[in-house]
Each structure stands twice: as C-alpha cells, then as structure tokens.
Amino acid sequence: MTIATGPQVGVTLYAFTNEWLTRQFDLDGLLGEVAKRGLGPNIEIIGFQSFKEFPDVSDDFASYFKDLIAKHGLNAVSCAINSDRFMKPGQQPIDDADLVEYHKRQIRSAKKMGFKLTRSQFALPAHLLSELAPFCEDIEMPMGVEVHAPMWAGHPAVLEYREVYEKLNSPALGWIPDFGGTARAIPPSLLDAARAIGTPEALIDATKDIWQGAEASYVKAGKLRAFAQDKGYDQAHLQACTLAFFILSNNDPQSWAELVDRTIHIHGKFYGVNDEGVEEAIPYEDILPIFRDGGFTGTIVSEWEGHAYCAVDAFEQVRRHQAMCRRILAGEPVVAA
Amino acid sequence: MLPVERIIGEEGLEATERGARLAMRLPWYRSLPFSVVEVASVKLDGTDVDLTDAVVEFDDHSFPLAEIGEQTNAFWFVRDSAFLLLPQVALQKDESHEVSLLLKISPPYIPGMTRVNPMTATLTVA
C-alpha cells in the first residue's frame, strides 16, 4: 500500500472535453489514452459529462465502469456531481427536498462506481448540508463543495458554508478549491481567441477593466453587455469575452490557507503551461506550497479549461501541468527552456 | 468553431414520412435537463420555420417542443444528438438547404447565465 506523503497529481476527464464532444474517444478509449500517456492513475470524472445513465447509474453500468478502471490501472478518485437547483430558467428553484434527493441519487451512483468522493456546488444552499452530512457519512462518501470563481475563501457564500461546516464538524464535508478563483489575470490565450474571431480591442479592454471588479459574475456580464450594446458590438464577440467573468476571478492566492484543513480534493484549473513550465494566468508557485505545507495529501487533478475557447492538444497541456505541479511541490525553481 | 459551439448535429437533416428531422448537439460540456434548453428558432433557406408542432426526439422518447420547459428529469447526454422533428416541413432526399438554428441554454447551477448559440450550415437531405 502506498502511503501518501504529500499532494498527488491526477487528471479530470473534463480536460478532454474537446476530444469527448467530437467523439474522438469513447469512455474506454479515453481512459485508455490517459493511462497510456501516464496521466493517471488518479482521475476525476463529471458524472453528467461521461455517464449517459447519470444521475441514476444501473448496476450493470457501474460494474462495466469498474472493470474499465481496473483494466486501465486507474484510480477513480472523484466524481463531480451537479447542484442543479435552477431547473426552470426564470422560475423558482426546485424544492429543497427534491434538491437533496437529486444529490443523493448522484452520490449513490458515484459510490456504486467506486469513486472515493464527490464534488458538489454552491447552488446547494448551506442549510441543506445538515441533511446530506449523515447520508455521506453513512455511505462513506465525502462531499466537497467546489470553491470556484468568483468564490474564494473570503466570499460570503464560503463563509456561510464554513460556519455550517464548523457547526456540523462532519468528516464527510469539505472543500474542493478551484484555482480559477485566484488568477492574476484573464488568460492571454482566452483574449487571443476572442481577437481571432474579430473581437474589437475596445471590447477586450473593457472586459479586462470590468474583470478587476469585485461584483458577481452576472453583474460583470451585464456591465459588459450594456457596453457592447451601446457600441453595437457583435453577440459572438461579447460572449467570447463574457466567459472570463464566469471562470476566473482575481482574489488573493494566499487566502487558500484559510481552507486547507478541510480540503479533500483540488481542481488544478489551468489554461496554458508555457515552454518554461509556467501557467499563464494562475500563480501556482504561490498556491501549491500552501497546500503542501498545510498537510494536504489528496489529489490535485489537472483541469485544463482552454477547451472553452481553443482547441490545442489537451493531453500535452495536462502533461505540462502535471510536470509543473511536481516541480513546484518538490520545491524546484523554474528551468529556463 | 469550437466543439462546444456545434449545435447542428453530425447526422444532419433527414426527410422522413413524419416531416423533416434535424440533428442538434448540446452546446455545453455536460449533459443538461432539456428544461434548460430553448430552441429559439429554425430557419430553412432564410425563412423561419413554424415550430408550433415541432417534436423533440432523444433515444426512445419524444415530447412536444412546446413542453421542453417541463422536461426536468429528461437529460440530453452531451455526446449524443437530439433530433427536432418538423412535421410541417416536407423535404426531398438529396436536396440541399441552408439551415440556421438558434439554441439558448441556461445551466441549472449558474443563476443568471444564458448562452446563445447560433449556427448555420448547408446540408444535403438524407
């Protein structure tokens, strides 16, 4: 048995969204490719991305999946579930009881498939955690809420969750940091992708200005929409820029220290690791030592999200990202190319 | 066009005895309940198609497009096409038509976010 002595690396199949959507791989093929390239063994899978039967996976499919994992020598660590509370756009959210049951359905499926933990989302109101904690404890499936941009350790929603976490003190509840919340800038590759479809530089400048603010994502999106409508800019250009408000924010990287003790898993969000082994938008050199030195021994899954705006080789990006994480965790400096 | 922006499916446009059948792909990274998908418009050779009687087909089940907003427990698997059946549109095999589709999706865990996805393609009727 391997005894974890520090953070482990792994990958989420979400990084290969382009390859998945274009049907270049089926599930067996994609897991095989990850294994062949040595990007595992630890993996995360979004239930609603990779499993057609989600949220209610059959025994047969669960058995098939476990056989695939064994065949490829992988380790199914995390199943990302979704807190789909707003099922009818523009109407009231679904009932609390239905939302709790919706989570249980997904967690049961993840357990049956052999995953060790689940990822949830802040769309699950904090007052429902007390109903899910005993369930997660009983079936031994820790659930971590993803602290995703624009959230960060000091965000009101995180503070509200934190208060409940401390009150319940359940070993089955924790955090899953997503480093997109502490970016230093909008990824240059995202802005270049917007330019490539003809987005005017004035719209890009406005995006950068608005992104610096502390408002909610949809408020920033509304500001940019008003600006774009006033100037008569194209909807496609607006959408290319608006993406940044929903996936990245610029909070203090050191703030993760507040969450280390209850962190059960990590999304190593990234957009582009350059030839020198440095991520273009997120300061990994500042972030990873916080978790290493804080005693985190779970998995950091490489979560390349550049597929939201470009189509470079995701496998190569993940390889670079894992090498970068290992270098930083080992305390080694950047090596000039 | 990014893979996530593709909304006219690989299976294209088909003439059936029940009407024209258009393949659609979901413009998101994960499966979504049909209730958060809006088929905002379909144009055939530049002319709006009346969607009053349109039907959505996915695997072995179907429902009227008018009731898509109620489909909270029917999930569109992101890797598969759903099909829009247009009973009022009669096409002939091997004809070529310009199809414009406009889909809107509102991810059910991101309040306030709606993505607008247009796509136009010239398709040969199968």
Domain count for chain A: 2
Among residues B81, B70, B92, B86, which one has the least CA distance to residue B7?
A: B81
Q: Are A282 and A270 in contact (CB under 8 A)?
A: yes
Do A280 and A147 reside in the same domain of the chain? yes
Specify the CATH number for the domain of residue B91: 2.60.40
A106-155: pLDDT as tens digits: 999 999 999 999 999 999 999 999 999 999 999 999 999 999 998 999 99
Nearest-CA distance from B24 to chain A in Å? 13
ipTM: 0.96
Do A192 and A169 reside in the same domain of the chain? no
Asked whether residue A17 carries a pLDDT value surpassing 70, the answer given is yes
Q: Looking at the partner chain, which of A20, A87, A239 has a beta carbon nearest the beta carbon of B116?
A: A239
Among residues A161, A162, A158, A160, which one has the least CA distance to residue A149?
A: A158
pTM to 2 decimal places: 0.95
User: What is the pLDDT at residue A135?
Assistant: 98
Do A289 and A156 reside in the same domain of the chain? yes
Contacts of A54 in chain B (CB under 8 A): 31, 75
Do A33 and A109 reside in the same domain of the chain? yes
Domain count for chain B: 1
Among residues A126, A179, A120, A171, which one has the least CA distance to residue A146?
A: A120
A280-324: pLDDT as tens digits: 999 999 999 999 999 999 999 999 999 999 999 999 999 999 999
pLDDT-derived band of residue A3, with 50, 70 and 90 as boundaries?
A: low
> Does B69 touch chain A if contact means CB atoms closer than 8 Å?
yes
> Does B7 touch chain A if contact means CB atoms closer than 8 Å?
no
Q: Is A148 a catalytic residue?
A: yes
Among residues A236, A334, A224, A213, which one has the least CA distance to residue A279?
A: A334
B112 contacts A221? CB cut-off 8 A? yes
Q: Are B56 and B101 in contact (CB under 8 A)?
A: no
A20-53: pLDDT as tens digits: 999 999 999 999 999 999 999 999 999 999 999 9
Of the candidates A72, A103, A127, A148, the residue annotated as catalytic is A148
Do A131 and A156 reside in the same domain of the chain? yes
Contacts of A14 in chain B (CB under 8 A): 29
Beta bridge partners of residue B104, listed in sequence order: B38, B116
Q: Which of A245, A261, A279 is at the close of a domain?
A: A245
Do A234 and A297 reside in the same domain of the chain? no
Do A93 and A219 reside in the same domain of the chain? no
At residue A121, φ and ψ (nearest 5 deg) are: -135, 160
B27-54: pLDDT as tens digits: 999 999 999 999 999 999 999 999 999 9
> Does B16 touch chain A if contact means CB atoms closer than 8 Å?
no
H-type alpha helices, chain A: 17-21, 27-36, 47-50, 59-71, 96-112, 129-138, 156-168, 188-196, 201-211, 217-231, 235-247, 284-293, 314-329
Per the listing, tokens 């002939």 go with B92
Whether residue A85 is contained in a domain is answered as: yes
Report the chain B residue with the minimal C-alpha distance to residue A52.
B77
Separation CA A214–CA A216 (nearest Å): 7
Contacts of A311 in chain B (CB under 8 A): 2-3
Asked whether residue A5 carries a pLDDT value surpassing 80, the answer given is no
Q: Looking at the partner chain, which of A14, A55, A236 has a beta carbon nearest the beta carbon of B29?
A: A14
Residue ranges in chain B whose pLDDT is less than 50: none
Q: Which domain holds residue B20?
A: 3-124
B29 contacts A17? CB cut-off 8 A? yes
Quote the radius of gyration of chain A (alpha carbons, Å).
20
Contacts of B2 in chain A (CB under 8 A): 18, 307-311
Whether residue A336 is contained in a domain is answered as: no
Q: Which domain holds residue A295?
A: 8-181+251-329
